[in-house]
Chains A and B, each alone.
Chain A
Amino acid sequence: MKMYLSNVAADPDRTARLIEIAKTSLWPLLEGAISNTIPLTIISFIVGLLLAILTALARISHIKIAEMIARVYVSAIRGTPLLVQLFIIFYGLPNIGITLDPFISAVIGFSLSVGAYASETIRAAILSIPKGQWEAGYSIGMSYSQVLKRIILPQAARVSLPPLSNTFISLVKDTSLASVVLITEMFRRAQEITSRNYEFLLVYTEAALIYWVICFFLSVIQQYMERKLERYGV
């Protein structure tokens, strides 16, 4: 580290070159983030969240078969590496005649992953709402789905916001795995840049900083949403 810095400092030309590389790689990296990392994150999270709600409802439904399917799904996804799942979807499925676009493959892989992990969060949040809330809803004549939609899920959303934010932030970083299925998201861009100039430390650190900035903004949004949801102060 010290040597690297002193070498750089001792050599004004090299310093200038590094600054130049940092500048010229910034836009390609950002472009990778904007065109792939961020859309991949947002789409996968939305699809995953819907999947998670369905899975959580299946788990608490007392319908044996639905419960069973949900359990196997969560167990399989949590029990296997995301990287392997992506390989199966993108490189494996063509063997049985299913060839998917890289972006679609990645969305499927990440959505399945978010769906499994977030379903446990949502299930716990639903179960944390007191039974009296269900009863109060039923007592004014509401149906199961009305109670769920109007009474339980809005309260569960508040409980699950912090852990879901965790999932979301993890997902931003996990999308770097999409580089292995040929998507030029930010990390793959960084690899491409370093393959030309060999400035690994500089370019990868630059990419890491951009991830950090994105995640920082997400934390700010999380805090804002928590405050908004806690308006009624319970």
Chain B
Amino acid sequence: MISIKGLFKQFGQLEVLKGIDIKVEKGKVVVVIGPSGSGKTTMLRCLNVLETPSKGILSIGGQTLDFSQNVSKKNIAAFRRLTGMVFQNYNLFPHMTALENVMEGPVIVKGENKQKARQRAQGLLEKVGLGDKVNYYPSQLSGGQQQRVGIARALAMEPEVMLFDEPTSALDPELVGEVLKVMKDLAKEGMTMIVVTHEMRFAREAADEVIFMDGGVVVERNKPDEMFTTPKEERTKKFLNMIM
């Protein structure tokens, strides 16, 4: 189980997260929506500790980080391994092939045997539909293909939860589907996922729960059907009207 308790984040004077509480059961898919500047990406990045929270308690599985105290680099690195992050701009390593991108974490961080890591990486790339592209460099792949490598790279670390930060926002419209399909397959397999996205169809089809954030707080959390047909909060209605 993943829980975020009393999460605050300040950038200088600007308070971006104003006390977030979220719980996600194992195997559930949670989609986070909200206007830009609502803090949804920052929340996700805090969970991966790419941003250090100003205050709050994060826990995944049995591991907990309490940011009201000093948190050591070692604990942060160990905590990060529980999460797999998929970035909006893929952030693949351009000097490595698709296969090497996926192998990098297992070999360098986990110290996995190269032969074994290669086989696993091959399998993961096949799973995301890129079995024939393993030796391509990122620059030789389309955006959708790069993002799928990004997903395979995150999966290679066998995380407890996958975090997706607007994974299809940088893609041409015709490439969005192939990435969403991979994500839906993952959801079906029972992967725990937190997805920040503007893809409402994905939310309807794959999410167990939708969270609407605005102004650094969680405004509403609801089942997807109810969220999109009968939202409870006025702010949610306004936002959904604007985008749908």
Measured CB to CB, the residues of A under 8 A from B are 130, 132-133, 135-143, 146, 150-151, 154-155, 158, 231-234
CB distance from A40 to the nearest CB of B (A): 32
Which residues of B come within 8 Å of A, CB atoms? 48, 50, 73, 77, 80-81, 83-85, 87, 89, 91-95, 104-105, 108-110, 137-140, 153-154, 156-157
- CB distance A233 to B93 under 8 Å? no
Find chain A residues with CB under 8 A from B94 CB: 155, 232, 234
A151 to B104: give the CA distance in the assembly, Å: 10
Distance from A139 Cβ to chain B, minimum over Cβ atoms (Å): 4
Contact of A155 among B95, B105, B137 (CB under 8 A): B95
Of B48, B73, B108, the contact of A146 (CB 8 Å cutoff) = B108
Interface centre among A133, A141, A150, A234 (most CB of B within 10 A): A141
In the complex, the chain B residue whose C-beta lies closest to that of A150 is: B108
- The answer to whether A141 touches B91, judged by C-beta atoms less than 8 angstroms apart, is no
Which residues does chain A contribute within 8 Å of B83, judged by CB atoms? 139
CB neighbours (8 Å) of B48 from chain A are 139
- Minimum distance in angstroms from B170 CB to a CB of chain A: 11
A234 to B73, CA, bound (A): 33
Please provide the 7 A-B residue pairs with the shortest distance between their CB atoms, ordered closest to farther: A140-B105, A136-B91, A139-B85, A232-B137, A132-B91, A141-B81, A141-B109
Asked if B87 contacts A140 (CB within 8 A), the reply is no
Which of the listed residues B89, B92, B105 has the most CB atoms from chain A within 10 Å of its own CB? B105
In contact, A234 and B139 (Cβ under 8 angstroms): yes
Given contacts A136-B93, A154-B95, are A141 and B104 in contact (CB under 8 A)?
Answer: no
Smallest CB–CB gap between A187 and chain B, Å?
40
Of B73, B80, B108, B137, which contacts A139 at CB under 8 A?
A: B80
Query: How far in angstroms is the closest Cβ of chain A from B196?
Result: 15
Q: Pick the most buried of B77, B92, B95, B109: most chain A CB atoms within 10 A of its CB.
A: B95
Q: Are B154 and A139 in contact (CB under 8 A)?
A: yes
A residues in contact with B109, CB < 8 Å = 140-142, 146
Given A135-B87, A146-B109, A232-B137: A140 in contact with B157 (beta carbons within 8 A): yes
Using A151-B93, A232-B94, A233-B140 as known contacts, say yes or no to A141 and B87 having CB atoms under 8 A apart: no
Complex-state Cα separation, A138 to B85, whole angstroms: 10
* Residues in B whose Cβ lies below 8 Å from that of A234: 94-95, 137-139
Query: In the complex the two chains form, is B157's CB within 8 Å of A232's CB?
Result: no
With a CB–CB cut-off of 8 A, which chain A residues contact B87? 132, 135-136, 139
